[in-house]
Amino acid sequence: MTSAATSPSPQSDPSKIVTVERIVPSPPGAIFDLLADPRRHNEIDGSGSVKGAQVDAPERLSLGSQFGMNMRIGAPYKIDNTVVEFEEGRRIAWRHMGGHVWRYILEPVTGGTKVTEQFDMNTSRSATALRLIRAPQRNKAAMEKTLDNLVRRFSETSN
């Protein structure tokens, strides 16, 4: 099942989307399996803030799935998410309570999969506040680490 409810549209402001890409040495399906399992998100998180999924998180995400994550930036907290885009093996995105969207797009290429991670503030309740706290810059650095972790994880399993 596919949803384009929050896909960047021609009306989207590209300056509100932070994008990072890497080539991962694995087919899209294996990468998607990891991304669609919230219990495994902490395995690749580059921010250090994702501690694990809530016990009631689904084993496999699908369009409309709701899941909570245990987080920590200074103090522990929980963040609730809803899957708003889902195309098996190709695209998955979830929206936080603040309205912004985390998106992964997978594209098969020679040597593996091009993985694009996006932090999309177009639907955020306060993109200005996110900019004031330097969320785009901090998230870009964390996203770079996340995708590096993804490359490393799948490089280890392909050897």
Beta strands in the chain (DSSP E): 17-24, 50-53, 66-73, 75-87, 91-96, 101-109, 112-120
Q: How confident is the model at residue 159 (pLDDT cuts 50, 70, 90)?
A: low
Domains and CATH numbers, the chain: 18-158 (3.30.530.20)
Beta strands 17-24; 50-53: pairing state: unpaired
Task: Name the least confident of 9-13, 28-32, 114-118.
Answer: 9-13
Q: How far, CA to CA in Å, does 80 sit from each of 10, 69, 96, 98, 106?
A: 28, 7, 6, 10, 24
The model's pTM is 0.88
Compute the Cα dihedral for 22, 26, 32, 34 and give only its sign.
negative
C-alpha of 125 from chain center: 19
- Which residues neighbour 117 within 8 Å (Cβ) at sequence distance 6 or greater? 19, 20, 21, 102, 103, 104, 143, 146, 147
Determine the distance from the C-alpha atom of residue 13 to the mean position of all C-alpha atoms in its chain, rounded to a whole number.
19
The top-scoring range by mean pLDDT among 14-18, 23-27, 46-50, 135-139 is 23-27
- Residue 4 confidence (pLDDT) above 60: no
9 pLDDT band, cuts 50/70/90, is low
Pull the structure tokens for residue 43: 């395995």
Token pair recorded at residue 83? 């899957």
CA 9 centroid distance within chain: 19
Tell me: pLDDT of 1 over 50. no
In angstroms, the CA 80 to CA 94 distance is: 10
- Which residues fall within 8 angstroms of residue 6, CB to CB, at 6 or more apart? 84, 85, 93, 95, 101, 103, 120, 122, 123
Q: Would you say residue 112 has pLDDT above 80?
A: yes
Task: Determine the average pLDDT of the residues in 79-100.
Answer: 94
* Mean pLDDT in residue range 127-156: 88
